[in-house]
């Protein structure tokens, strides 16, 4: 395959430079980078469900939402388009609020008193959960006993108690360390997380000492002493910062996404006999123990002072350490990459070890290794051989077509997700010359910008998913194509502008 010499993002940026766009369209850093809910917000931005609040890159994730703001998010989430003929009875609903509050009224998740809908009032979590329950997003509670575990149960309004109890039984309520969160009002980021958790079946476990079983799309562990046991989680599991210096136990759990460790203390995050696609350690000073039978495909350690203990029978295939940390135990690591000073890997990995970066020094298997020196090789070292690129020969069952090597299923999956998100953003964007024919609440770009983005998506779809050389090279091709599509996606997102046409309301 010939490698393209001009990236998709560059093509799109060149197109942007040739058309007339507002001066505010520029490549600027956004304000959600590093946010607790960054990943889910980026997904909603890609779908066109979360828009900026001003200049490009400004999303104000921690800004409180009003009832009208929540209606915008909810209508996108539930794909609600029908409008109520009774919206005219509510003089407190004006301007852009009319369209979205009308849809809320028609769907029935907002109830007016015939005079006011209070679009500008903040919306606490209990109201949001009531709206979700009214749309059948989770079943009724057997009783109100779930509220007994809340430290602030007395702050739940009497009318909201059955709805909050239902959300808690289904584990969709945002609870941390025994407290129902956001009772003084949801933020934009919290709103996106709450609604997305319904779509992705991500459950939140925030009651101290809780034991969790079953299979779900994702999970958030947000209290000390929570145990996730005999579960099959298709997506991510997040150990929330609310765990603080407490303990979390993960016992015989399969995680298809990433285990994100934002909380946990010197005692430990304890993982027993689990099969986990990825682990990301961001908490500083946390102790993570992998017991025998635990198999981790990829682990990224970015928490300074973290201690990872890999016990006998546990295995990490790819280890990346980007902060001063200690890796010890009698288990195994196949490949390791170190990019920070102060890293101590107590044993010798069995595969390739790289120490990268400027003036980086690490201790590997009791030996000091510098980034300027040669890569560490496994012991015993193989005899000298001519320098040739490594090849991968999968078993016949992995490769039904001799001579071709497919990219890994996980790599293809994230590529497909990037294409799907790009297509969703494209479909949610109108084309216009100036936005005056695009309704408020919708977004537009010029035809030239749209055509460039469509080309970027089509090119990404045409990328071959196999290589005649090795699976590693096939993976590299797909990963490179995904990065180019993500860059084009980011440029297209910055080019989107809000419509200015006020739609007529019957």
Stretch 67-88: mean pLDDT: 95
Bridge partners of residue 497, in order along the sequence: 444
d(CA 178, CA 171): 12
Stretch 184-189: mean pLDDT: 96
pLDDT at site 474: 72
d(CA 211, CA 309): 24
pLDDT at site 469: 66
Cβ–Cβ under 8 Å, residues 310 and 288: no
**What are the phi and psi torsion angles at 116 (to 5°)?**
-140, 140
- Confidence band (pLDDT; 50, 70, 90) for 4? very low
- Confidence band (pLDDT; 50, 70, 90) for 295? very high
SS3 63: coil
The residue with greater pLDDT, 36 or 254, is: 254
Q: Does 23 reside within a domain?
A: yes
SS3 212: strand
d(CA 12, CA 434): 19
Instruction: Write the DSSP string, 460-477.
Output: HHTS-SEESS-HHHHHHH
Number of neighbours of residue 137 by Cβ within 10 angstroms:
19
Which of the given ranges, 74-88, 267-281, 436-450, has the highest pLDDT on average? 74-88
> Residue 363 pLDDT more than 90?
yes
Domain that holds residue 413: 1-30+401-506
Task: Give 396's contacts (C-beta < 8 A, 6+ positions apart).
Answer: none
The residue with greater pLDDT, 348 or 419, is: 348
Stretch 290-309: mean pLDDT: 94
Bridge partners of residue 364, in order along the sequence: 345, 367
Q: Does 477 reside within a domain?
A: yes
d(CA 250, CA 276): 11
pLDDT at site 375: 43
SS (H, E, C) 95-117: CCHHHHHHHHHHHCCCCCCCCCC
Q: Is the peptide bond before 380 cis (omega within 30 degrees of 0)?
A: yes
Radius of gyration of the chain (CA): 26
> Residue 374 pLDDT more than 60?
no
Residues of the chain with pLDDT > 90, as a percent, come to 55
Residues 51-66 pLDDT 10s:
888 777 889 999 999 9
- Confidence band (pLDDT; 50, 70, 90) for 16? very low
Q: Does 487 reside within a domain?
A: yes
Residues 108-155 pLDDT 10s:
999 877 789 999 999 999 999 999 999 999 999 989 999 999 999 999
> Residue 395 pLDDT more than 50?
no
pTM of the model: 0.68
Listed residue (253, 298, 260) closest to 277, CA to CA: 298
Number of neighbours of residue 417 by Cβ within 10 angstroms:
13
Q: Does 13 reside within a domain?
A: yes
pLDDT at site 441: 63
The 3-state DSSP composition of the chain as helix, strand, coil percent (nearest 5) reads 30, 25, 45
Number of neighbours of residue 34 by Cβ within 10 angstroms:
7
- Confidence band (pLDDT; 50, 70, 90) for 498? confident
Q: Does 11 reside within a domain?
A: yes
pLDDT at site 384: 36
**What are the phi and psi torsion angles at 229 (to 5°)?**
-135, 130
The Cα-based distances of 5 to 53, 124, 238, 410 in angstroms read 36, 51, 39, 26
Which of the given ranges, 176-190, 270-284, 383-397, has the highest pLDDT on average? 176-190
Q: Does 344 reside within a domain?
A: no
Bridge partners of residue 269, in order along the sequence: 248, 288
d(CA 170, CA 192): 18
d(CA 96, CA 68): 9
Listed residue (397, 375, 126) closest to 406, CA to CA: 397
Cβ–Cβ under 8 Å, residues 505 and 102: yes
Q: Does 312 reside within a domain?
A: no
- Confidence band (pLDDT; 50, 70, 90) for 403? low
Stretch 340-369: mean pLDDT: 93
| 96-110, 347-361, 472-486: least confident range | 472-486
The residue with greater pLDDT, 208 or 394, is: 208
pLDDT at site 55: 77
State the average pLDDT for the chain. Answer: 83
Stretch 373-377: mean pLDDT: 44
> Residue 398 pLDDT more than 60?
no
Domain count, the chain: 1
d(CA 293, CA 129): 40
Q: Does 188 reside within a domain?
A: no
Listed residue (307, 311, 347) closest to 323, CA to CA: 307
pLDDT at site 372: 58
SS3 223: coil
d(CA 386, CA 10): 39
The residue with greater pLDDT, 442 or 209, is: 209
Task: Give 17's contacts (C-beta < 8 A, 6+ positions apart).
Answer: none
pLDDT at site 85: 94
Stretch 458-483: mean pLDDT: 75
């Amino acid at each position: 395959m010939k490698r393209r010499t001009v990236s998709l993002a560059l093509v799109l940026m060149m197109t942007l430079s040739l058309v007339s766009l507002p001066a505010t369209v520029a490549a600027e850093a956004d304000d959600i980078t590093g946010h607790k809910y960054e990943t889910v917000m980026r997904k909603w931005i890609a779908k066109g469900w979360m828009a900026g609040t001003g200049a490009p890159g400004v999303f104000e994730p921690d800004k409180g939402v009003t009832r009208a703001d929540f209606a915008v998010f909810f209508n996108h989430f539930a794909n609600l388009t029908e409008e109520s003929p009774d919206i005219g009875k509510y003089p407190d609903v004006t301007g852009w609020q009319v369209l979205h509050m009308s849809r809320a009224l028609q769907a029935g998740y907002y109830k007016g008193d015939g005079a006011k809908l209070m679009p500008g009032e903040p919306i606490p979590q209990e109201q949001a959960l009531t709206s979700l329950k009214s749309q059948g997003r989770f079943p009724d509670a057997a009783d109100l006993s779930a509220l007994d575990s809340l430290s602030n149960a007395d702050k739940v309004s009497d009318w909201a108690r059955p709805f909050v109890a239902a959300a808690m039984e289904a584990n969709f309520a945002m609870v941390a360390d025994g407290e129902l969160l956001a009772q003084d009002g949801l933020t934009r980021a919290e709103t996106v997380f709450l609604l997305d958790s319904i779509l992705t079946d991500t459950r939140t476990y925030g009651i101290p000492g809780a034991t969790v079983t079953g299979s779900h799309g994702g999970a958030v562990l947000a209290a000390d002493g929570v145990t996730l046991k005999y579960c099959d989680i298709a997506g991510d599991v997040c150990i929330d910062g609310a765990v603080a210096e407490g303990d979390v136990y993960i016992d015989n759990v399969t995680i298809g996404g990433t285990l994100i460790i934002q909380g946990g203390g010197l005692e430990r995050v304890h993982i027993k006999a689990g099969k986990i696609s990825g682990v990301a350690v961001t908490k500083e000073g946390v102790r993570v123990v992998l017991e025998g039978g635990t198999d981790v495909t990829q682990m990224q350690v970015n928490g300074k002072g973290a201690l990872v203990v890999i016990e006998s029978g546990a295995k990490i295939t790819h280890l990346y350490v980007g902060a001063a940390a200690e890796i010890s135990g009698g288990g195994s690591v196949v490949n390791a990459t170190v990019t920070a000073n102060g890293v101590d890997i107590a044993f010798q990995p069995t595969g390739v070890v790289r120490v990268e970066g400027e003036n980086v020094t690490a201790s590997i298997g009791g030996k000091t290794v510098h980034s300027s020196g040669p890569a560490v090789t496994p012991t015993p070292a193989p005899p000298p051989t001519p320098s040739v690129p490594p090849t991968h020969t999968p078993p016949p069952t992995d490769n039904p077509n001799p001579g071709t090597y497919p990219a890994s299923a996980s790599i293809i999956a994230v590529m497909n997700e990037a294409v799907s998100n790009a297509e969703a953003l494209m479909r949610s964007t109108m084309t216009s010359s100036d936005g005056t024919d695009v309704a408020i609440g919708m977004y537009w770009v010029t035809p030239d910008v749209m055509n460039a983005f469509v080309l970027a998506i089509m090119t990404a779809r045409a990328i071959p998913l196999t290589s005649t050389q090795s699976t590693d090279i096939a993976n590299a091709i797909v990963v490179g194509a995904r990065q180019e599509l993500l860059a084009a996606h980011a440029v297209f997102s910055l080019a989107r502008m809000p419509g200015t046409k006020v739609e007529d309301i019957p």
